[in-house]
Structure 1
Amino acid sequence: MQLQEHYHKLYQDSIRCIQADAYQIDELIDAASDNRFGITLLLRPDDVVKGEIQKLLSKLKLIEPNQYFYRDSDLHVTVMSIISCYNGFGLGQIRVEDYIKTVRKSIHGLGPFEVEFKGLTASPSCLMVQGFLADDTLSQLRDNLRSNFRDSGLEQSIDKRYSIQTAHSTVVRFKEKLKNKDEFLKVVEKHRDHSFGISTVNTIELVYNDWYQRKEYVKTLCKFEL
Structure 2
Amino acid sequence: MNLTEHYNTLYKASKEKILSGNCETDPLLDSASDNRLGITLLLRPDSQVQNNIQAFLSDLKAIDPAQYYYPNSDIHVTVMSIISCYSGFDLAQISVPEYVELVRKSIPAQVSIRIKFRGITASPSTVMVQGFMEDDTLNELRNNLRVNFRNSALEQSIDKRYAIQTAHTTVVRFRQEITQVQEYVKVLEKYREHDFGTFTADELVLVYNDWYQRRAHVQDLHRFKFG
Q: TM-score range by the shorter chain?
A: over 0.9
Q: Could you tell me how far apart the structure 1 residues matched to 2:167 and 2:110 are? A: 17
Contact 2:68 2:172 in 1 (8 A): yes
> Is the partner of 1:4 in helix, strand or coil?
helix
Contact 1:42 1:206 in 2 (8 A): yes
Q: Residue 35 of structure 1 corresponds to which residue in structure 2? A: 35
Contact 1:120 1:127 in 2 (8 A): yes
Q: Could you tell me how far apart the structure 2 residues matched to 1:92 and 1:110 are? A: 33
Q: Residue 45 of structure 1 corresponds to which residue in structure 2? A: 45
Shift of 1:108: 4.0
The TM-score normalised by the length of structure 1 is 0.99
Q: Could you tell me how far apart the structure 1 residues matched to 2:190 and 2:58 are? A: 14
Q: Residue 132 of structure 1 corresponds to which residue in structure 2? A: 132
* 2:84 pairs with 1:77: no
Q: Residue 113 of structure 1 corresponds to which residue in structure 2? A: 113
Moved over 6 A (4+): none
Letter paired with 1:179: T
Shift of 1:113: 1.9
Structure 2: gaps (5+ residues): none
The TM-score normalised by the length of structure 2 is 0.98
> Is the partner of 1:157 in helix, strand or coil?
coil
Q: Residue 122 of structure 2 corresponds to which residue in structure 1? A: 122
Letter paired with 1:92: A
Percent identity among equivalent residues? Answer: 57
> Is the partner of 1:152 in helix, strand or coil?
coil
Contact 2:114 2:200 in 1 (8 A): yes
Q: Could you tell me how far apart the structure 1 residues matched to 2:110 and 2:25 are? A: 39
Q: Residue 21 of structure 2 corresponds to which residue in structure 1? A: 21
Shift of 1:110: 3.3
Q: CA RMSD in A?
A: 0.7
Contact 1:37 1:208 in 2 (8 A): yes
Q: Residue 61 of structure 1 corresponds to which residue in structure 2? A: 61
Contact 2:39 2:209 in 1 (8 A): yes
> Is the partner of 1:29 in helix, strand or coil?
coil
Letter paired with 1:13: A
Structure 1: gaps (5+ residues): none
Greater Cα offset, 92-101 or 105-114 = 105-114
Greater Cα offset, 35-44 or 108-117 = 108-117
Q: Residue 190 of structure 1 corresponds to which residue in structure 2? A: 190
Shift of 1:177: 1.3
Q: Residue 212 of structure 1 corresponds to which residue in structure 2? A: 212
Q: Could you tell me how far apart the structure 1 residues matched to 2:137 and 2:17 are? A: 34
Q: Number of residue pairs matched?
A: 226
Contact 1:111 1:202 in 2 (8 A): no
